[in-house]
Structure 1
Amino acid sequence: MKRQLAIGGAMVGAAGAALGWTIARKLTAPVGPRRFNLTLRGVEINGDRQLLLLDRTGDTEAPGTYNLWFERGGWAQLGNEVEDRGQNLVARIVVGVSPGFTPRASDRASWSGIYFATPEDAGLVARDITIRTPVGSAPAWRVDGHTSTWAIHLHGLGSPRTGTLRGVQVATQLGLTSLVVSYRNDGEGPTVGAGRSTLGAAETEDVEAAIGYAVRRGAERIVLFGWSMGAAIALQLATRSDYGPQIVGLVLDSPVLNWIEVIKANCNRARLPSSLGLLAVPWLTNAQLSRLTGVACQIPFRESDWIARADELSVPTLILHGADDDSVPINTSSALAGKRPDLVQLESFNAGHTLAWNSDTERWRATVSAWLSGHLAV
């Protein structure tokens, strides 16, 4: 009987280890191709209005401005209006399409909050530059302004840098020079090892190189705009970078403030018990185990717990977060704002992960603009 119990215990332990390894691998996976999981059910032309018919989902019926990216190339920007077309369909009005593209019924598409494909689409005049990072050259966009305050825009895990253009517009209107950067293993920056993310642990070095680029070219003050994992990178830089004195503000959208809580939330999102996420922690935090997952270095999760480290914050911070975010829940942002009301302002939106801008574009822009103007006198 004891032997049977021992065998059973070993099997359970092995199964738990295997599941933890699988979760760790999924979380740090190299950037993959976009998934086109929507089918365009029809196209309506009503005068000068074009509407696209889509299956009704939580995304497609959400008010706000979004983008459809199509498998055969091209995109269509969708306006705020949502019209019912029966129980299973909604119609979304088209407010812009990529040049030469015409949506067709049966097209496969991907729903996204990434609204602009290029800086030009966002009305920005950008030039391509290269940042020399410790692991190679990383492409970036530079949008010149007329003040000595620069904004550096940091995208999140699995998201391209185009997603940050939503924030670059505000920085540009205020006269800031912007750098829209890439970093290692994000699909655009240098590829290191197996191409896996270190959840900001190593990527921070590449963003620090971008700050150095800005300082050497006249930047006296730096504002970091961080989206999701980009926010985790921004917080590390604000507290430990040699350029810390130049970092005067953080604008964080859907910020990762505790990786363990994020892992648990995403297990729950996948309809698994959230506690199973804890099985992945040793595979990412232990030096030997992390190598077995293909991650280039161990990930110090304790350093990413900004609720525990709240007293270390010294930079004024604006957080914009969706109340419906099931990937990076808003409760961590609420906890940080509660601990540091002297430094942290939280603005809640009726939105999912990194979709606050999309859910209420004018409010997002006005909030960021007012906060920057008030705190930085730009």
Structure 2
Amino acid sequence: MSTVASDSPVPGTPGAPSPARRRRRRRVRALIAAAVAIMVLLCAVVGGIGWYFAGVATQVDHSDEYPLTVADVANGTVTLPRETSTERPGTWALAWKGGRALLGPVVSRDGDHVVRKVASVTQGTLTKGTHANIDHWVWGDDPKKSLGLDFQNVTYQSKLGPMPAWLVPGGPTQGTSTKGTWVIGVHGRNADKLETMRAMRAVHALGLPMLSIAYRNDVGAPPSPDRKNHLGDTEWNEVVSAMGYARAHGATGVVLYGWSMGGAMVMTALRKDPSFVRGVVLDSPVMDWNATLDKQGSARSLPPFLTDVAKHVLQWRIGIDLSDYDQRRYAPKLRTPVLLYTAKDDGTVANGPAFTFARTAPPGMVTHVKADGGHTEAWNVDPAAYERALTTFLKTVG
């Protein structure tokens, strides 16, 4: 009996996809393309926001703003909108384009306005409707015109060329000497030598010369190659150059005195060249750029992840390592006495790192003065208390 095997079935040729399957494939491809486009767009938006805020941080800007409108001027008083800055006690100036007045105490206030005494009008004419601002630098001219202190316009050599500075020689106890310990004043970001003038009388009264310096990108100073602010990461070189100028002109040591970003600069200069530094004074200093940029991002309602992106962009754009500006890392090894002023209502710089720095430094190395007021306004709120602490410290290290 024979058996005939049946032929195996020949596989059929696959047919074309059904219309429904083709539609599904097109939808999937479209969804993938849309998702990729959205991701690219989000990355561009996030990167753009990061680029913008990094640009804000590095922008060089010396323009003036006058957000207040004078409501009235009468009988030796000025009426201003009621704000924290306009009703705060202490020593302040009212500045406007082409003019300046020293303000006295508040004499009255209501829900919308505050009335202050005008101690003197030092420049221009103050009239109703003038656009002005509260200036915590107080003085707007050189040390001779503003404070009656003799000074010299000098230049010190830096890597970028000659930098301008004011040299106020030693005062009553040393005549006009430039010998001994010098104080080197270093203003903050986008500020000016004028910021340092609030300390000059106290320094001068002790007979210590004071060198208030301009640095790269200041008005009248050489610009940086990229014309950007580097948050102190390159600007500290000018502090070291100023120390060299002081040494060459009779200084036997220096006290570095930094306001705001100037504080970050002098702390870096201290780490680079500590041998000539007798002491450091810090007024509302940046003691950690990461924390300060976080604070400023929060004030602009920037989500934390966008702030982080901005910080990464910032580090890439100007070549800074922000972690190098966390002074808490160096506090345990501090060997130079520091006088530290922090302002209770500082809306610009994060205070927490300064408190930690003071707490973790070796015992007795940091004298921490906690003051009222806003950023770099400890002197304005209570000049006498500020100068007592400064005078005591300088007598110790000068």
For residue 111 of structure 2, the aligned residue among 72, 84, 87 is: 87
Q: Distance in 2 between matches of 1:19 and 1:187?
A: 29
Correspondence 1:254 to 2:295: no
Percent identity among equivalent residues? 30
The one of 131, 140, 143 equivalent to 1:119 is: 143
Residue aligning to 1:276: 306
Cα distance in 1 for residues equivalent to 2:310 and 2:161: 30
Moved over 6 A (4+): none
Cα displacement string for residues 100-151 of structure 1 (whole angstroms, at most 9, x for unaligned residues): x221111111222111122121232111111111102111100111350100
Task: For 1:176-195, list aligned pairs within 5 A.
Answer: 176-195=208-227
- Name the amino acid aligned to 2:190: G
Within 2, Cα distance between the matches of 1:312 and 1:9? 47
Opposite residue 372 of structure 2, the aligned amino acid is N
Unaligned 5+ segments in structure 1 are 291-296
Q: Which amino acid aligns with 1:159?
A: A
Aligned to 2:41: 11
Map of 2:120 onto structure 1: 96
Counterpart contact for 1:239–1:313, Cα < 8 Å: no
Query: Gaps (5+ residues) in structure 2?
Result: 1-30
Query: Do the aligned residues in 2 keep the contact of 1:34 with 1:110 (CA within 8 Å)?
Result: no
**Corresponding residue of 1:294:** none
Contact 2:264–2:286 under 8 Å retained in 1:
yes
Aligned residues: 358
What's the offset of the Cα at 1:164? 0.6
> Is 1:308 matched with 2:347?
no
Deviations 1:192-211 (A, max 9, x none): 23421111111111221111
Q: Equivalent residue for 1:33?
A: 63
User: Corresponding residue for 1:109?
Assistant: 132
- Distance of 2:381 and 2:304 partners within structure 1: 27
Matched, 1:69 2:95: yes
Deviation of 1:156 after TM superposition, in Å, equals 0.1
Bigger radius of gyration: 2
Equivalent residue for 2:79, pick from 49, 53, 63: 53
* 1:140 paired residue among 145, 148, 165: 165
AA in 2 matched with 1:84: S
Instruction: Report the counterpart of residue 18 of structure 2 in structure 1.
Output: none
Is contact 1:40-1:104 (8 Å) kept? yes
Deviations 1:75-122 (A, max 9, x none): 01112x1233421000111122224x2211111112221111221212
Q: Give the partner amino acid of 1:16.
A: V
- Give the corresponding residue for 1:240: 272
What's the TM-score once normalised by structure 2's chain length? Answer: 0.86
Retained in 1: the 8 A contact 2:92–2:138?
Answer: yes
- The 8 Å contact of residues 41 and 55 in structure 1, kept in 2 or not, is answered as yes
- 1:325–1:352 CA contact under 8 A, matched in 2: yes
The 1-side partners of 2:33 and 2:327 are apart by: 45
1:356 aligns to what?
Answer: 378
Instruction: Report deviation, 1:9.
Output: 2.6
